[in-house]
Structure 1
Amino acid sequence: MALRAINLALAWIGVEKIFIEVFTEIGLNADEINSFISGPAFLAWNHFGNIQGSWGGSMPQSWVDSQSDLQLKILDRMEELGITPILPAFPGFVPRNISRVFPDISLSTSPLWSNFPTELSGDTYINPFDPRFAQLQKLFISKQQELYGNVTNFWTLDQFNENQPLSGDLGYLQNVSHNTWTALKAADPDAVWVMQAWLFSSDSAFWSNDRIESFLGGIPVNSDMLLLDLFAESAPQWLRTNSFYGKPWIWCELHDYGGNMGLYGQIENVTINSMDAVRNSSSLVGFGLTMEGQEGNEIMYDLLLDQAWSPKPIDTETYFHDWVSARYGTKNVKSLYTGWELLRPTVFNNTNLTITAVPKSILELVPSISGLLGRTGHHPTTIHLQPSGHG
């Protein structure tokens, strides 16, 4: 990462320790907290408020402590390499029994997520206009500052990841974001709220342009927010939102969901479309990678990170040739040049955007009487390549 000049990266390993300490300090007991924290394989969705609890027993304290120790090592190394960490802010999701501690607290319930049962989803969250939201935000950030030092002012906070807000009223949405921003700035006056723009893509039926503008408009200082256009190579949101209405943003390549292992790429979108954004958006501030697994398609991630240093779209034929030389050497590799040139305009140049990401093997899927082949979307099983005509 450092060799590619990445200077900002998510670092939320070990945050469970912070959650537990905050919830304990306000008076929740171990059973109440354990009913909220998910197991290691599901923590991302727990942090996003999609699921809660665990169906395999409570989280071992030894694992919580070891992850916190690992985070300290990660942050030390990031500092050595000049990479600024993005730490987690308090998103508002809490154990259901929090009303025992704060009887008059204002709460809402997230929708059930992805067919999970009620006991494992429908997370409870504190409405940001309740003063306890700011109280817990202050605790959450101050505990990290005490543990890690003053290592960052970038805080990741996603409230509606695949969860719809309680209301689509424009005033309500602006009130939610404004109070979230106010609480964050009270905890860290220099805070920058880092937020994924995935919600605007995944639930575009709800997130109309006027709702997006109202939500983002709740943050009165543009530089206090940094948006990640998470899936910009396939579903860019900056175009329909007038560059997120002036908020700084990063053009991101998602490419791979769930660590799928097929070969796939969109070289034209990564090179040409990213440069279109540079020319046409005054609030674009960087490029980023947001893949959910990086095995098997390294060339696509190298391509974007190198594109960041080029003032014009990279010539992919030359790039693939040079990449092969760098990876395999230059002796006796003629067949490799030929092979990669077969892949470049076919496998790595998908232009059919009914298939938007790395294909998924049918061997990974639950059997279905309706069939497994021909699926599109971001877990496709359709063959996407177009034959190049090479023999």
Structure 2
Amino acid sequence: MEAVTVAAALGFLLLAGAGNSAGDEAREAAAVRALLVRLLGSGPAANFSVTVKRSLAAESGLDTYRLSGGGAEAQVRVTGSTGVAAAAGLYRYLRDFCGCHVAWSSSQLHLPQPLPAVPQELTEATPNRYRYYQNVCTQSYSFVWWDWARWEQEIDWMALNGINLALAWSGQEAIWQRVYLALGLTQSEINEYFTGPAFLAWERMGNLHSWGGPLPRSWHLKQLYLQHQILDRMRSFGMIPVLPAFAGHVPKAITRVFPLVNVTQMGSWGHFNCSYSCSFLLAPGDPMFPIIGSLFLRELTKEFGTDHIYGADTFNEMQPPSSEPAYLAAATAAVYQAMTTVDPEAVWLLQGWLFQHQPQFWGPAQIGAVLGAVPCGRLLVLDLFAETQPVYTRTASFQGQPFIWCMLHNFGGNHGLFGTLEAVNQGPAVARLFPNSTMVGTGMAPEGIGQNEMVYALMAELGWRKDPIPDLRAWVTNFADRRYGGHQQGTEAAWRLLLRSVYNCSGEACSGHNRSPLVKRPSLQMNTTVWYNRSDVFEAWRLLLTTAPTLATTPAFRYDLLDVTRQAAQELVSLYYEEVRTAYLNKELVHLLRAGGVLVYELLPALDEVLASDHHFLLGSWLEQARMAAVSEAEAHFFEQNSRYQLTLWGPVGNILDYANKQFAGLVADYYTPRWQLFVGTLVESLVQDVPFQQHQFDKDVFQLEQAFVLSTKRYPSQPQGDTVDLAKKLFLKYYPQWVAGSL
């Protein structure tokens, strides 16, 4: 296909995935009405009128909603150019007129009576075509064990937040199995290739194979059925699901069936050896490339239909076999051509992480080769980590290819209060005004969800704004009021402190990954430096507790109180660790015993106890999700072990150790605490015997504890125990005065 102008390319993207029939409008309006009933109940939902009219966006082609009514008119009228636009308009009304709030942890939906009037008809259009959601890794770090009930909640959240472009990658292994069997691979060869469920994201990007597998037959059947449900619901709102495509990675067994096939064995990834890494990449000119690529996409679209946007990542965190622009262009063109062979309207969604992750390899010529190998407008690039390390600024706006400005924010699904709020607030507007900008959307691309909900609330709002929020302090104050259902000076002040501290990271150091000593294998070289004043966290903790008598029954408040208590305990672990290290280096045995004893036998057990009071922070709840996805006890044990590995060792020998760390009750008690006990005990023994601490020997010893946790069959409670407010107050009264007195 000949290259088209940027304007024409962007025009094509404006039309991608858009339905125009009256049937589409009726279906999308019905989907939003059903969402209303799930959200508010049938009685309150009857007070809203929902209509979808494509003509509302006829001029711009951009999602638009219109609000009117309420007050004396009783019924609130919501009209959207798509179902997603109508849902976003509905949430705008609930949020800004009713003071409501919808989040992963809980929702606050106390509607005023009568419903507030919209003073004058309000019409709002998004400044960009797309509001994107997900990272390929989110599928494994957060979604892997979800059933339809949980997916339904998420898609509702997506619709309310105006998301209209999202990955839909469930069930693809079942399609690949059909393709591989048709090509002549045996079932055992296919089983040896697929990873376990918790690691499929990296098998899909060619980083891994085999590790944690094989996939049971029941997995394929259930995921196929689930994918149909996901796609049907996404499309009912007018969302555009992004399906997977062939990126060039193949099982080694392909070389048995086709001995002359031209493949390159890639290098290892993530500290894995070639038993689980070193994938095989088809040469772009090999005749099998278009055959396999088109076979897969034909089978996939036959099963699931298509909305013409496909995701594929050939060189994710892997150095290509050649830096020659001609090779990189050919490899890119081969992926795209395999798509268009089946779907002439195909648009390729590419994660731009590769350009950011290995900048020493991806110079201007190499980047240009990839971007120029696909017709302009048919490669839609995700600038995945734009809030911290944007790529569009050093590639002349991806050399004319359209891109989506994304906030990555979270790595591995870590707990830990974190954000780069100022960069997030300013970033999309700056990108839109960049010279010759080809920005066509904003996106949320976390590796894991279910944390730092304020950050995602802000990013979702920015998807509908042309300009940044003018006053983030005022915005976060309103956020606190909506979240808890009313004005409270203490909570407002607490959130403003968090905004200026944990949520105010700036510069290249803001990785978004929690590297607190709490969740890392102990050593004497751990970094406790933070970008904020810890006193702000402790003071926010105090302020939240002052409002507990009023808000103790509010679910969002209880969740936030626990989360801030968890963060305060994380800070305390760092402070006690510094005491332990200093005492050891100064050979002060008594001081070492005191600080180490408090850390191991008081603070960590207290943290585990408070975490156990909320089901969002239970290891038992996390593992129960995995077990519930199984159809037999043997399968349940297998899935649970997959999940335990991902949380801790990641690979068989700690290959990506503690990357996906969480702070769960049970995990603190039986994984983090034993490591700290061994560490403190080893330091004490070192001083007593006057021998140096040997990190290498400690790593070997502590690995036995880590592996024992992964292989354990111990069951953990999946129901909360204890009262969050009482336990948080108890921990506060014990440690806050010590910190203020400076005795730590």
The match for 1:385 is 532
The match for 1:293 is 448
Deviates more, 1:170-179 or 1:66-75: 170-179
Instruction: Please state whether the residue corresponding to 2:348 is helix, strand or coil.
Output: strand
User: Following superposition of structure 1 onto structure 2, how do residues 312-323 of structure 1 map, counting pairs within 5 Å?
Assistant: 312-314=467-469, 315-323=471-479
Q: Quote the Cα distance in structure 2 between the aligned partners of 1:255 and 1:170.
A: 32
Instruction: Please state whether the residue corresponding to 1:189 is helix, strand or coil.
Output: coil
The alignment of Structure 1 onto Structure 2 pairs a total of residues equal to: 379
Pairing partner for 2:394 from 240, 243, 251 = 240
Deviation at 1:355, TM superposition (A): 2.9
The match for 2:275 is 119
Q: Quote the Cα distance in structure 1 between the aligned partners of 2:363 and 2:524.
A: 33
Pairing partner for 1:267 from 421, 425, 439 = 421
Instruction: Please state whether the residue corresponding to 1:353 is helix, strand or coil.
Output: coil
Instruction: Please state whether the residue corresponding to 1:35 is helix, strand or coil.
Output: helix
Given the alignment of the two structures, is residue 93 of structure 1 paired with residue 249 of structure 2, yes or no? yes
State the Cα deviation string for residues 281-327 of structure 1 (Å, max 9, x = none): 52100000110122221111111121122222102112111111211
The match for 1:141 is 297
Instruction: Please state whether the residue corresponding to 2:437 is helix, strand or coil.
Output: coil
Larger Rg: 2
User: Following superposition of structure 1 onto structure 2, how do residues 161-200 of structure 1 map, counting pairs within 5 Å?
Assistant: 161-200=316-355
**Is the 1:265–1:358 Cα contact (8 Å) retained in structure 2?**
no
Give the counterpart letter for 1:342 in structure 2. L
Instruction: Please state whether the residue corresponding to 1:118 is helix, strand or coil.
Output: coil
**Is the 1:49–1:110 Cα contact (8 Å) retained in structure 2?**
no
Q: Quote the Cα distance in structure 2 between the aligned partners of 1:73 and 1:389.
A: 45
**Is the 1:345–1:388 Cα contact (8 Å) retained in structure 2?**
no
User: Following superposition of structure 1 onto structure 2, how do residues 1-391 of structure 1 map, counting pairs within 5 Å?
Assistant: 1-55=158-212, 57-149=213-305, 151-219=306-374, 221-280=375-434, 281-314=436-469, 315-331=471-487, 333-367=488-522, 369-374=523-528, 382-386=529-533
If each structure's helix is expressed as a fraction of its own residues, which one has the higher value? 2
Instruction: Please state whether the residue corresponding to 1:195 is helix, strand or coil.
Output: strand
Q: Quote the Cα distance in structure 1 between the aligned partners of 2:333 and 2:536.
A: 56
Give the counterpart letter for 1:123 in structure 2. S
Deviation at 1:334, TM superposition (A): 1.3
Give the counterpart letter for 2:206 in structure 1. G
State the Cα deviation string for residues 141-187 of structure 1 (Å, max 9, x = none): 111111112x3101001000011111001111112112222222112
Q: Quote the Cα distance in structure 1 between the aligned partners of 2:391 and 2:275.
A: 34
**Is the 1:260–1:360 Cα contact (8 Å) retained in structure 2?**
no
**Is the 2:498–2:536 Cα contact (8 Å) retained in structure 1?**
no
Percent identical residues = 38
Give the counterpart letter for 2:466 in structure 1. P
Deviates more, 1:125-134 or 1:71-80: 125-134
**Is the 2:414–2:514 Cα contact (8 Å) retained in structure 1?**
yes
Deviates more, 1:278-287 or 1:228-237: 278-287
Instruction: Please state whether the residue corresponding to 2:292 is helix, strand or coil.
Output: helix
Deviation at 1:32, TM superposition (A): 1.2
Deviation at 1:358, TM superposition (A): 4.3
Instruction: Please state whether the residue corresponding to 1:223 is helix, strand or coil.
Output: coil
Instruction: Please state whether the residue corresponding to 1:82 is helix, strand or coil.
Output: coil
The match for 1:378 is none
| Structure 1 residue ranges, 4+ long, deviating more than 2 angstroms after superposition | 358-367, 369-374, 386-391
Q: Quote the Cα distance in structure 1 between the aligned partners of 2:406 and 2:200.
A: 22
Where structure 2 has 5 or more consecutive residues not aligned to the other structure, the ranges are 1-157, 540-744
Where structure 1 has 5 or more consecutive residues not aligned to the other structure, the ranges are 375-381
State the Cα deviation string for residues 66-95 of structure 1 (Å, max 9, x = none): 111111111111011211100000122111
Q: Quote the Cα distance in structure 2 between the aligned partners of 1:389 and 1:321.
A: 16
Q: Quote the Cα distance in structure 2 between the aligned partners of 1:241 and 1:232.
A: 13
Q: 1:166 to 1:389 in 2, by over 3 A?
A: closer
CA RMSD of aligned residues (A): 1.7
**Is the 2:265–2:281 Cα contact (8 Å) retained in structure 1?**
yes
Give the counterpart letter for 1:233 in structure 2. E
Instruction: Please state whether the residue corresponding to 1:226 is helix, strand or coil.
Output: strand
Q: Quote the Cα distance in structure 2 between the aligned partners of 1:24 and 1:363.
A: 47
Instruction: Please state whether the residue corresponding to 2:500 is helix, strand or coil.
Output: coil
Q: Quote the Cα distance in structure 2 between the aligned partners of 1:296 and 1:99.
A: 44
State the Cα deviation string for residues 321-360 of structure 1 (Å, max 9, x = none): 11112111114x1110110011112211112432321423
Deviation at 1:387, TM superposition (A): 6.8
Q: Quote the Cα distance in structure 2 between the aligned partners of 1:104 and 1:389.
A: 64
Deviation at 1:370, TM superposition (A): 4.6
Instruction: Please state whether the residue corresponding to 2:345 is helix, strand or coil.
Output: coil
**Is the 1:346–1:388 Cα contact (8 Å) retained in structure 2?**
no
**Is the 1:134–1:183 Cα contact (8 Å) retained in structure 2?**
yes
Deviation at 1:388, TM superposition (A): 8.9
Q: Quote the Cα distance in structure 2 between the aligned partners of 1:272 and 1:49.
A: 35
Deviates more, 1:122-131 or 1:355-364: 355-364
Give the counterpart letter for 1:296 in structure 2. Q
Give the counterpart letter for 1:209 in structure 2. P
TM-score scaled by length of structure 2 = 0.50
Q: Quote the Cα distance in structure 2 between the aligned partners of 1:229 and 1:157.
A: 15
Q: Quote the Cα distance in structure 2 between the aligned partners of 1:330 and 1:33.
A: 56
**Is the 1:13–1:71 Cα contact (8 Å) retained in structure 2?**
yes
Q: Quote the Cα distance in structure 1 between the aligned partners of 2:165 and 2:196.
A: 27
The match for 1:379 is none
**Is the 1:342–1:388 Cα contact (8 Å) retained in structure 2?**
no
Deviation at 1:272, TM superposition (A): 1.2
Deviation at 1:365, TM superposition (A): 2.3
Q: 1:265 to 1:10 in 2, by over 3 A?
A: same
Q: 1:16 to 1:306 in 2, by over 3 A?
A: same
Deviation at 1:127, TM superposition (A): 1.6
